[in-house]
Structure 1
Amino acid sequence: MAILLYDLVGSDPSRPYSPHCWKTAMSLAHKGLEFETVPTRFLDVPTVEGGVSKTVPVIRDGARVVADSFAIALYLEETYPDRPSLFGGEGGEAMSRFIERWSQTILHTYLGAAALMDIYGMQDEPNRAYFRQSREPRFGKKLEEVPGGRDAGLAAFRGSLEPLRSMLAYQPWIGGASPLFPDYIVFGALQWVRVASPYQFLAADDPVSEWFGRCLDLHGGLGRGVPSAA
């Protein structure tokens, strides 16, 4: 039986965009596990598996239900040890924690604000109302005001990728010779805005763009299966 992945979408169920759900989709594909996605909008999340989590991704694997992309990766690693490793050992798991924090605090902070109105535009009317009601208190301003500094912040965002850019001069993946879960963490952040926004967050000649393109090609082109917003 295929694993179920509850995957965040907007009004178009064929365009999943959540960075965290993309981490899980890539993890499942990395393990070579068959899975089916369940398109899930914001207002659907409280009904997922009896309200097990306030967020997605959530997976159901037979009788097991697991929430949170990192917890899911750990579950897959423990449950399917005979399949390709997501971490390459305890050191890779520890490294992934650092990469996750870097992505959440540095990449997501800029990307989430810069693409906010694009993400809002992906929702149907009831979910737009929810999105506005939940995000405006978080940002302390109207949604329309939040992305106003994205042009001014673009150079700093691209500069924040320098650790990744520099590393790619030494090895092809964050995981080393082949991709691991930390690659999927950063990929999820960039795929989030690729699907949601036509804004050009990466320069075409950036080595990070080349790495991201290779990520899109992984697992039979899973990432490319959803066209970019551009």
Structure 2
Amino acid sequence: MTRILYALAGADRARPFSPHVWKVALSLAHKGLAYETVPVAFTEIPAIENGATKTVPLLRDGDRLVSDSFAIALYLDETYPDRPSLFGGEGGKALARFVESWAQTVVHTALVRFVVLDIHDCLGPEDRAYFRASREPRFGKSLEAVVEAGVGEIETFAAKLEPLRALLGKQAYFGGAGPSFADYIVFGALQWARIVSQKVILRDGDPVKDWFERCLDLHGGVGRSVTAA
């Protein structure tokens, strides 16, 4: 069976950076499922699999195509129930949905304000033009102005992770002693920043940084397969 993960990358195709793709990469590793990564640029996405998706990740599992990271995680648990679960039951799915909402509305929103120009700079020329033309109308200002206005976000970012920090005082991962898809959701966001930007967002001694380092080492160190910027 051919299993393919389409992953967003910039000018360097060996450095996939999408936070949502990284959720799936760790999920596949969690399940022990082999796959091939096919890197694609922003402007190449409409052409993959005959226009099957407007965004990545997109997973081809034999004859099946599945898009959206959460839908892919659900699919993997349902299709491969004999392998380690990503959710550990309905309670784990509910927890992951909450973490997904928190990550999207708090973590991603803060991160993008100070890494958006780094993302732009890692792209090829055609993708840079696309990225600027599609993102600047959303922000209502230039990418440079977004980053300038978001300088303070770097200093306050750690405080936004306090819910996770408090949890880590009681257990090693969101789900307890071992990782689950909820961990991969937040890991994906921090991995995104690690790959595209040299900005320091987590300090030594922070339990969240310790957790992130543990996540980088999971499943044979798949998270470290791409070096930091």
- TM-score with structure 2 setting the length: 0.98
Q: Give 1:102's aligned residue.
A: 102
For the pair 1:217 / 2:217, whether they are aligned, the reply is: yes
Once the two structures are TM-superposed, the CA of residue 54 in structure 1 deviates from its matched residue by 1.0
Q: Give 1:127's aligned residue.
A: 127
Q: Give 1:3's aligned residue.
A: 3
Amino acid at match of 1:166: A
Please give the residue correspondences for 1:3-152 in structure 2 after superposition, counting only pairs within 5 Å: 3-152=3-152
CA RMSD of aligned residues (A): 0.8
Q: Provide runs of 4+ in structure 1 moved above 3 Å.
A: none
Q: Which runs of 5+ in 1 are unaligned?
A: none
Once the two structures are TM-superposed, the CA of residue 144 in structure 1 deviates from its matched residue by 1.0
| CA–CA separation in structure 1 for the residues paired with 2:159 and 2:167 | 14
Deviation per CA, 1:123-154: give whole Å up to 9, x if none: 01000000000000011001111111333122
Amino acid at match of 1:203: R
Contact 2:113–2:153 under 8 Å retained in 1 = no
Once the two structures are TM-superposed, the CA of residue 53 in structure 1 deviates from its matched residue by 1.4
SS in 1 for 2:150: helix
Identity of aligned residues (%): 58
Please give the residue correspondences for 1:192-207 in structure 2 after superposition, counting only pairs within 5 Å: 192-207=192-207
Q: Which runs of 5+ in 2 are unaligned?
A: none
SS in 1 for 2:214: helix
SS in 2 for 1:118: helix
Amino acid at match of 1:224: R
| CA–CA separation in structure 2 for the residues paired with 1:3 and 1:94 | 27
Q: Give 1:184's aligned residue.
A: 184
Amino acid at match of 1:155: E
SS in 1 for 2:59: strand
Count of matched residue pairs: 229
| CA–CA separation in structure 1 for the residues paired with 2:176 and 2:115 | 30
